[in-house]
Structure formats: structure tokens, C-alpha cells
Amino acid sequence: MLKELPLSAFDWWQRIGFDYPVVWISGIFAAFALGACLGSFLNVCIWRIPRGESVVTAPSHCTSCGADIRWYDNLPVISYLVLRGRCRKCGTPYSCRYLVVELITGILFTAILFKAGFARQVPAVIPLYWWCVLLAISCAWIDARFRIIPDALTYPAIFYGIVLHALMPSACGMTSALSGGLYALLSALIPGILLSVFAIIGNKLTGKDVLGWGDVKFIAACGALLGFPGVLFVILGGSLSGTLYGMILTFRRGKKLSRCTIPFGPFLAGAAVVWTLAGNWIWHWYILISAR
Ligand SMILES: [Zn+2]
């Protein structure tokens, strides 16, 4: 029997019909709507997870008067604009975070879909990159505000990355479920273990937290979702941008660099988002440079 050859990324996009404007324009709308809805759920996570509340059992409610928020007042982006960012019952203004998170998630979902289609990447990378965006936005926001990166966000991301790579091994150029899953597992484990050693030794030597455990788990989750070399970019890009920001801050405030503590999560998250949007181009550019 003739064995069917695996479809190339180009064939995939052609089969989806991405060459037709009506298809990619509807794709853009669908991706934005999905991103905005998931962004709305992220808002629930950002508020409840650091406070130890469940994200599934209790229905959405106003954090000021406690009134349940009806479904028509809970439409992403639209409801916020219609109600002008206030509770329908008590009129308390809501944080603009609700609108910002929904918009950013929707825009990034759209950008990732469009870029993957434009660059003819394997479509299997899209759900992985989308999850990475969800992880990055929620962790960045929570870390900036509470200085923690919750396990409730990083552990599911690691699990999802491994399962999805096993289901769609073409995302990482593998051909079997076993090799795909193993690839994601190792991409999470290797940087996770190396950074744990770095964190333990660094903390012993300096007596301070040079790297938090939440950061280590976040990087491991990026490994499971983005694979290699994406996870390397997250570590390098996050460290460089974080250090640069720290230097600017100390220069402005005139303090010593060692006295200044900044959350690392937002910088790691920023690097992860950059990789989802431009990783393939960054990697090609790096190979070109190093081949000279
Ligand atoms: Zn209210």
C-alpha cells in the first residue's frame, strides 16, 4: 500500500484556503473573537488566582457590590465599552485592565494566525503559540503586581505543551507522537533543571533570590510550548531586557543595582511573545549570521 506523505506547511495552508481573502479575513475575526473571550477568562485568572479563589466555580461578579454579572454584560471588549467600564448595578468603575487584557489577547491571537499563514509555518504551531500568549499575559500581570508566578498557570502549560506536541508532532518537525511528546518534555526539563541548579547555587552564594522558582517553571513551560531554540530566546531576551530595565531604573533613582529588585516575569513573558511573532525570522537571521 502506498504510504501517504505528510503534508508540507504550504499544502496545509492551501487546503485551509488561506489564499482566499474571504478565508483569511474571517480567520482574523475568528482569531480576535477567540482571543478576546480567552482574554476575558484571563482577567478572572489574574484577579482570582493570586487571591486563592477558584476560577471555575463562582460565576463572574462585581468585586465591589458582589452582584452577579449577566452574560450580556460579560461580552469581551463590547460590554466594557457599552457600560463605559462601570458596574451596571453600583456604577463602580472597573480597572482598565479588563479592556486592555482582552484587546491585547485578541490582537496577539490575530497576529499569530496571520503571521503563521503569511510565513507558511506549520499550522500546528498556532495553538501552542496561542497558549504561550495566554501564559505570558497572565504571568506578566500577576508577577508585576504580586511578585509571584502561580503554579496554577505554569503546570497546565507544561502539560498542554507536551500533549499537543505528541498530538501534532509536525509543530516541532517530528513525525511520531512519541518523538513529539519527548521533544516537548526535554525542552521543558533541560532548561528547568539547569536553571534550578543555577538558582540554588546563586541563592547560596549571594544570599538573595537571584532567580525565583516561579521564573524557572515559567521558562520550563515556554520550553514545552515553544521548544528549542524558542526557550533559549526567552531566557536570553528576558535576561537582557530585564537587566537593561534594571540599569535604567538604578541610573534614574541613583541607587545601587543590587538594591533594586524588579520582577523578572514580565521580561520573560515579553521575550516569549516576541518569539511567537518573529521566532522563525530571528532563528533564520541567527543561522545566516553564524554561517558567515
Ligand atoms: Zn457593582
Average pLDDT (250-270) is 79
- Would you call 34 exposed, middle or buried from its count of C-beta atoms within 10 A (0-12, 13-18, 19+)? middle
**Residue 284, C-alpha cell as written in the block:** 533564520
Residue 137 and residue 42 in contact, taking contact as beta carbons nearer than 8 Å: yes
Average pLDDT (163-189) is 93
Average pLDDT (4-28) is 80
Query: What is the Å distance from ligand 1's center to 153 Cα?
Result: 28
Residue 276 and residue 129 in contact, taking contact as beta carbons nearer than 8 Å: yes
Question: Which of the four pLDDT bands, split at 50, 70 and 90, describes residue 59?
Answer: confident
Give the mean pLDDT of the chain.
90
- Chain-centroid distance of CA 12 in Å reads 25
Which of 30-34, 247-251, 282-286 comes out lowest in average pLDDT? 247-251
d(CA 262, CA 244): 11
pLDDT at residue number 16? 81
Query: What is the Å distance from ligand 1's center to 98 Cα?
Result: 15
d(CA 102, CA 36): 5
d(CA 199, CA 90): 47
Model confidence pTM above 0.85: yes
Question: Which of the four pLDDT bands, split at 50, 70 and 90, describes residue 14?
Answer: confident
Question: Which of the four pLDDT bands, split at 50, 70 and 90, describes residue 189?
Answer: very high
Query: What is the Å distance from ligand 1's center to 146 Cα?
Result: 24
Write the CB contacts of 224 (distance below 8 Å, at least 6 apart in sequence).
157, 158, 159, 160, 161, 162, 165, 184, 185, 187, 188
Please tell me whether residue 254 adopts helix, strand or coil conformation.
coil
Residue 276 and residue 112 in contact, taking contact as beta carbons nearer than 8 Å: yes
CA angle 274, 179, 136 (to 5 degrees): 25
Query: What is the Å distance from ligand 1's center to 60 Cα?
Result: 11
Which of 110-114, 236-240, 254-258, 288-292 comes out lowest in average pLDDT? 254-258
Query: What is the Å distance from ligand 1's center to 281 Cα?
Result: 47
Query: What is the Å distance from ligand 1's center to 63 Cα?
Result: 7
Write the CB contacts of 133 (distance below 8 Å, at least 6 apart in sequence).
35, 105, 108, 109, 112, 273, 276
Q: Say whether the peptide bond before residue 229 is cis (omega within 30 degrees of 0).
A: yes
CA separation (Å) from 90 to 14, 67, 77, 196? 51, 9, 20, 48
Query: What is the Å distance from ligand 1's center to 118 Cα?
Result: 44
Domain boundaries, the chain: 8-123, 125-292
Query: What is the Å distance from ligand 1's center to 69 Cα?
Result: 9
Query: What is the Å distance from ligand 1's center to 95 Cα?
Result: 12
Cα Rg of the chain, angstroms: 21
pLDDT at residue number 255? 64
Other C-beta atoms closer than 10 Å to the C-beta of 122 total 20
Other C-beta atoms closer than 10 Å to the C-beta of 235 total 18
156, amino acid identity: P
Residue 86 phi, psi (nearest 5): -125, 160
pLDDT of residue 121 exceeding 70, the answer is yes
**Residue 286, C-alpha cell as written in the block:** 541567527
Query: What is the Å distance from ligand 1's center to 65 Cα?
Result: 4
Write the pLDDT tens digit of every residue in 205-257. 988 878 889 999 999 999 999 998 999 999 999 999 999 998 888 888 776 65
CA separation (Å) from 98 to 111, 163, 226? 20, 30, 27
CA separation (Å) from 42 to 9, 86, 159, 276? 31, 19, 18, 19
Query: What is the Å distance from ligand 1's center to 84 Cα?
Result: 13
